[in-house]
Chains A and B, each alone.
Chain A
Amino acid sequence: GENVEQHPSTLSVQEGDSAVIKCTYSDSASNYFPWYKQELGKRPQLIIDIRSNVGEKKDQRIAVTLNKTAKHFSLHITETQPEDSAVYFCALGGSNYKLTFGKGTLLTVNP
């Protein structure tokens, strides 16, 4: 069945540095890979997503890369800012009307 491992569980960086969060999965049927950001006390919100026919997608300072052969995908945040501090969740989607989420990464950006 679907399973996704997310690493690291916590990540602390200095403002301006880059941050990378990686997720690995096992279900080959997964074809949708979104990333959600949840600020403290707030609802999760989609920040970027990628589909299985695309290897990389960028949106300003964030990017996601997908390696379907190795079954892993990563979130890259460049030039981090304090407002990037949050919990980030990767997720898997297929044709079964649900998302399977990773356990989250607490990102702290230190000014």
Chain B
Amino acid sequence: KAGVTQTPRYLIKTRGQQVTLSCSPISGHRSVSWYQQTPGQGLQFLFEYFSETQRNKGNFPGRFSGRQFSNSRSEMNVSTLELGDSALYLCASSLSGGVNTGELFFGEGSRLTVL
């Protein structure tokens, strides 16, 4: 079956702009998580959604937001972009939603460059 699909794969924005990233989970997976990956910092948790409800949010400013649709697809938005927002944004889906019960399947990521 198809894996986790993220679009766009690459994008370049300027400071002050906003960006929307999309994630389509594996069919049947109802939990979608988002992580920010930067060199030397590993993967930092942004938020997790299950059945259109945000169940947890990481320590990121309010400029970072997300949502999940009834078909489990998810989007994240970053407003008023800053240079430090340049990163690889990874989406991951899982079957049940409880991360301690099973594997996270990651997409290939959306690489955002802010100039």
Contact = CB atoms under 8 A, between A and B. Distances in A.
Co-complex (A, B)? yes
B90 A96 contact: no
Contact of A46 (B55, B98, B103): B103
Interface in B47-71: 48, 50, 55-56, 58
Nearest to A44: B106
A103 B58 contact: no
A65 interface: no
Given A32-B99, A94-B100, A43 B41 contact: no
B97 interface: yes
B25 interface: no
A73 interface: no
Contacts of A101: 35, 42-45
B106 A97 contact: no
A96 B100 CA distance: 9
Interface residues of B, number: 26
Contact of B99 (A43, A45, A93, A104): A93
Given A43-B90, A46-B104, A99 B98 contact: no
A89 B33 contact: no
Contacts of B90: 43-44
Interface string B99-115: 11101101111000000
A89 B101 CA distance: 18
Interface in A42-69: 42-46, 49, 51
B40 interface: yes
A34 B92 CA distance: 14
B56 A104 contact: no
A102 B100 contact: no
B43 A43 contact: no
B31 interface: yes
The 5 A-B pairs with the shortest beta carbon distances in the complex, nearest first, are A32-B100, A93-B100, A103-B42, A43-B106, A101-B43
